[in-house]
Amino acid sequence: MDFFSQQDRARRNTRYLLILFTVALSLLVLLVNALVTAFLWVGRDYNLYVGGSGWQGYLALFSWERFGTIGLAVVSTVGFVSLIRWLQLASGGKAVAESMGGRRVMRQSADPYEKRCLNIVEELSLAANMPVPALYVLPQERGINAFAAGINPNDAVVAVTRGAALQLSRDELQGVIAHEFSHILNGDMRLGIRLASLLKGITFIGDVGHFLLRMGAYGVGRSNKRSESSAALPILGLGLMVIGWLGSLAAGFIKAAISRQKEYLADASAVQFTRDNRGIADALKVIGGFLPGSLVHSARAPEMSHIFFGEVRHRLWDGFATHPPLDRRIRRLDKDWNGQFIQRAEVRYGTEPLSENHTQAGVGRAALVAAAMASSVLDHSADHENPHGAEDAEFSLPHGLTETAAKDDPLTGSGGQIPGALHTAVLDPLGATAVALALIASRRSPQQLKVAMHVLHEQAVQGQAEQVTSLLPLVRELHPGQRFPLMAAAMPALKNMSTPQYRQFKTTLLSVIRSDGQTDLFEWCLFQLLRHYLDPEYLRVHSSRPRYGHIAKVRAPLRQVLSVLAHQGSGDSARAFALSCNELQLSEMTLLPLEECSVAEFSRGVHTLADCYPLLKPRILKAMALAAADDGEVCPVERELVISVAAVMDCPLPPELSLG
């Protein structure tokens, strides 16, 4: 499964949606014009022959001027309603989740089922190299379902129903959530929001008809003298309701046409994430054997049915189904399925607690997956398949990290075990921020360190400077390969800050970075990693817009970025640069001298590459990976550079980019 090809497919589906919407809107204009002409044709006292006889009289009332006026009114109304709905939904996935009755799950939650869901969301997001989306639970929904919402990965949320959290095992739940992550990475969320907005505009005509029908009936009942308009108003309202119903049918067909295929794609992508097809297949089997199924009773659910994991309502006809039949989805995932669904007794809160092993599965796993991402994604290691049935092994272990070591202490890096004091420090927000600041301060000369500590005493919160001082000796002993895994392990604690605390931390971090008058590559990488994972949690983030569809348009920034990377390895820089250029079919490009490779130009180049279209980004990352592996070893600086560039580009590191 190629996430980037599917993002491109999602863009084509958007154009397909606009074509279908234009056709539906055109038919809507014709039907409303026909209805208004019939309304005028009826005339005074319901005389069906006023203005002529038969169809000749009806056609005689046709006017191009009126047709244009009505068409403009219909188009303007639909456009206005669609825009309002878009603005409501585009405020972020949070608005969609809360409109469904969702409640955000915080890390302080004492509920083991919710904590298990949160652990799964964190480990999948770190494995995909994307910001951790907020998790919501729909506490009133017994059905087994889930959805992802938002405009882009930065404002995405994942929501699960109470039934999904309680009824599914960890592997099954991981398959369901991985399916929703696939929608995020495939670019389906923006398409889903556009679909809901446009279809709301179409069905709004029916709401107008319902209002006119009620108003007309009220007017007739209150007045002894019926005017022509008040007498015929219920008929006009009834006609608009019928047109709205037809619009709803069209909306249903459009949703079904857009949604079904992407569900198959998301199922396949979920298998790529979890390396196991049984989890998501068994989740679908549980839905088939569970009495409430995947039903969702929220009033908003039918409108947003296309973003859910399963059908939210029973369908009288499969033509309106937004999801493929369960048996077809299962057979694509499990060819040996015997046709029997999984029967499972309903679990209720407080009656059947998770076992100790099941509750603890995933605790600290975010750090393990982060270590895998930092130590293995860019290493010369073959993929290790997960042992089937192992509750604690959803992901393959990183190269150099044995299964025993992972269970004992996930905070290990390529240079051995991270000191216990640092392990403890990253578990709370103050300690996690102190570790980040210590990583920067530890690279300073004695004179520069005095300046950095002076900045800390002036700007840092109370006790932070002292904690940085105490952690400095331990941070200096870290192997370079342990730095990113340590910061990845600190992410959950950093997400527990308040927005003012995060703003203060970010300001202090920037001040310490700038205290020596220059920014080196590690400082740039660390700041970009923190910004990538934390900004969406606290700030309104605007993703880059695709502008460059051809490699030739980004030759200059590519030359800068690839030159910087080539100079970081221990091998032949010119050979590494040539290897990456050949991969991009830019063999005529030449390596920049080291003195022309500034961090400022590198940063500008990376942010320009972030504006490339999705299909170009994996090609660029693959070229960088080839350059990093040219000398047979990926050094920590090279690894940090590639991961940080991928973060700035909002581009996940797919499995095929492992250097090997």
Name the least confident of 13-27, 275-289, 300-314, 400-414. Answer: 400-414
Q: Is the model's pLDDT at 545 over the cut of 70?
A: yes
pLDDT score, position 375? 38
Q: Is the pLDDT of residue 95 over 70?
A: yes
Q: Which of 278-282, 440-444, 546-550, 558-562 has the lowest mean pLDDT?
A: 546-550
Confidence tier at 431 by pLDDT (50, 70, 90):
very high
Mean pLDDT, rounded, of the chain: 76
At 561-570, the pLDDT tens digits run 999 999 987 7
The arithmetic mean of pLDDT across residues 564-586, rounded, is 88
Q: Which of 83-97, 568-582, 584-598, 603-617 has the lowest mean pLDDT?
A: 83-97
pLDDT tier for residue 384 given thresholds of 50, 70 and 90: very low
| Contact of 363 with 409, CB cutoff 8 Å | no
User: Once rounded to an integer, what is the mean pLDDT over residues 242-249?
Assistant: 72
Of residues 610, 605, 600, 554, the one with CA closest to residue 581:
554
The yes-or-no verdict on residue 548 having pLDDT over 80 is yes
Can you give the pLDDT at residue 287? 94
Task: Reply yes or no on whether 180 is catalytic.
Answer: yes
> Distance (Å, rounded) from C-alpha 415 to C-alpha 434?
22
pLDDT of residue 275: 78
d(CA 246, CA 209): 12
**Interval 9-28: pLDDT, tens:** 555 655 666 677 777 778 77
End-to-end alpha carbon distance in the chain: 19
- pTM of the full predicted structure? 0.65
pLDDT tens-digit series, residues 507-536 = 999 999 999 888 888 999 999 888 888 887
CA atoms within 13 A on the CB side of 567: 17
Residue 436 has pLDDT above 70, yes or no: yes
| pLDDT for the residue numbered 357 | 46
pLDDT in the model for residue 59: 66
Q: Decide: helix, strand or coil at residue 160.
A: strand
Q: What is the pLDDT of residues 160-176, one digit of tens each?
A: 999 999 999 999 999 99
45, pLDDT greater than 50: no
Catalytic residue among 114, 122, 123, 180: 180
Note the pLDDT of residue 396.
28
Q: How confident is the model at residue 633, as a pLDDT? A: 76
DSSP conformation letters of 410-457: S-EETTEEPPHHHHHHTTSHHHHHHHHHHHHHTTS-HHHHHHHHHHHH
Residue for token pair 């608005």: 95
Residue 114: band (very low, low, confident or very high) from pLDDT cuts 50, 70, 90: very high
CATH architecture of 101-182+267-333: 2-Layer Sandwich (3.30)
Q: What is the reported pLDDT for 558?
A: 93
pLDDT at position 219 is 54
Helical (H) or strand (E) element with 572: none
**Residue of 37 and 307 predicted with greater confidence:** 307
Q: Where are the domains of the chain?
A: 3-94+191-258, 101-182+267-333, 359-400, 420-538, 551-657
Residue % of the chain over a pLDDT of 70: 74
Reply yes or no on whether the pLDDT at 592 is more than 70. Answer: yes
pLDDT, one tens digit per residue, over 619-629 is 898 888 888 88
Q: Output the pLDDT for position 235.
A: 65
Residue 356 has pLDDT above 50, yes or no: no
Total residues belonging to the chain: 660
Q: What value does the mean pLDDT take over residues 82-88?
A: 79
Helices and strands per DSSP (H, E), number in the chain = 26, 6
